[in-house]
Amino acid sequence: MKSALQPGGALGPFRFPIFRAIWIANMASNVGSVIQAVAAAWAMTELTTSHLPVALVQASATIPILLFGTVAGALADAFDRRLVMLAAQIGMLVVSAVLALVGYAGWLTPANLLALTLLVGIGTALNGPAWQASVRLQVDRSELPQAISLNAISFNVARSVGPALGGLILSLWSVSLAFAINAVSYLAMIVVLARWHPEMPPTPQHRQPIGQAIGEGLAFCLRSQPIRKVLLRGALFGFGAAAFQALLPVLVRQQIKGSEIAYGLMLGAFGTGSITAALWVSKLRRRFGSEAVVSAGTVAFVTALLLVAQSRALDVGLVAALLGGAGWILAMTSLNVAMQMRSPETILARCLSIYQSVTFGGMALGAWGWGSVADRLSTTGALYWAALWMAATLLLRLFAPMPTREEGRIEPGETLHGQP
């Protein structure tokens, strides 16, 4: 029986020291980010009774990706990706420290809480394309799908542990401590990146203007039929899936009548479902294909939305969160791998940033949209409509199916114009 650490095994990328170091540091940073997100969302429910500001706090990490993601991708292709990540991590540390100081001083308002969480989101938007594109510098290309799955596991381990820690910190101390812990959590990644000196692919002697570089990436994505299908699936899935987490704080407080601990447990269950699915997603995708896995993830998420809409007790909510987490990772990891495998190295970060802008932009718009629906109807009504939206996206199996295994696949070292 093949060991999980051998080449091709589920844990094969851990054979590479830099991947291990970045994975561990990134998980620490993710735990801090989740703790801050839990604290910010809960603090907003105490600062206002409107659903929309709570939903916008949930979307604060995705709105900047929609607005600045493609610019971040162009920067990551034009400059050293390690330095781009380092600048983003330092910026997020500074903003999180300011947020902690504002909280300790008692100056938190809905406006400055949303503004500061949006600034952290801008750092996330800057970091994302460079980080995702740098995975190819950390492992062999044959290990790339497993590395992407392990990075998803890192994030979802944080989503399992972070909410419980966040709920505990909120119940025993304050939101300000949660913000301070997040600021400290960036230090490990900053140290790892400062010490890492990868062999970067050659950069062009004359950098393109940002606008021209973005246009080149957009033109490639629009020309590629497989990538167009991935982008469409990501945008529509993200829009519907946003309802779950955007409305979860309100649902826990008003419908389940839960506390900070209950909210943390719900988010933890979502992360646990994601981790479980991430361990199997590569094997499922190899056996059944991307379309079957994305569709299964969509069905799981529809079921989660219907369950959580009806839940009046924590146990039902936890089951819904487990299903939602599994559905989320089945769909999103498959979409990410499809995008990575069909993007040339020279414009990789731009392609990934366009994917992130479209997918997470859909989530940001979804958070705003479902929050507005909840204000006009009810939280339950918004979740039912989101479930209907997600079910309708299954029709894309007929009109825009996921690319087949070899459709549009880019070979190692292939550039934008097809030459190594």
- Residue-wise pLDDT for 230-247, tens only, equals 999 999 999 999 999 888
Identify the pLDDT of residue 420.
43
Measure the CA angle with vertex 264, ends 48 and 235; round to 5°: 75
Residue 106: φ, ψ to 5°: 75, 25
pLDDT in tens, 44-92: 888 887 777 877 786 776 678 778 888 888 888 888 889 999 999 999 9
d(CA 218, CA 239) in angstroms, rounded, equals: 21
The CATH architecture of the domain made up of 12-197+209-399 is Up-down Bundle (1.20)
Which residue ranges of the chain lie beneath pLDDT 50? 1-2, 419-420
Rounded-to-integer distance, Cα 17 and Cα 25, Å: 12
Cβ neighbors of 342 (< 8 A, separation 6 or more) are 224, 226, 227, 230, 351, 403, 408, 409, 410
Distance CA 284, CA 302 (A): 20
pTM, two decimals, is 0.73
**Which amino acid is it at 66?**
L
Distance CA 179, CA 186 (A): 12
pLDDT, position 81: 85
**Which residue is it, tokens 């973005």?**
214
- Contact predicate 363/244, CB 8 Å: no
Residue 4: its pLDDT value, please?
57
Displacement of CA 183 from its chain's centroid (Å): 19
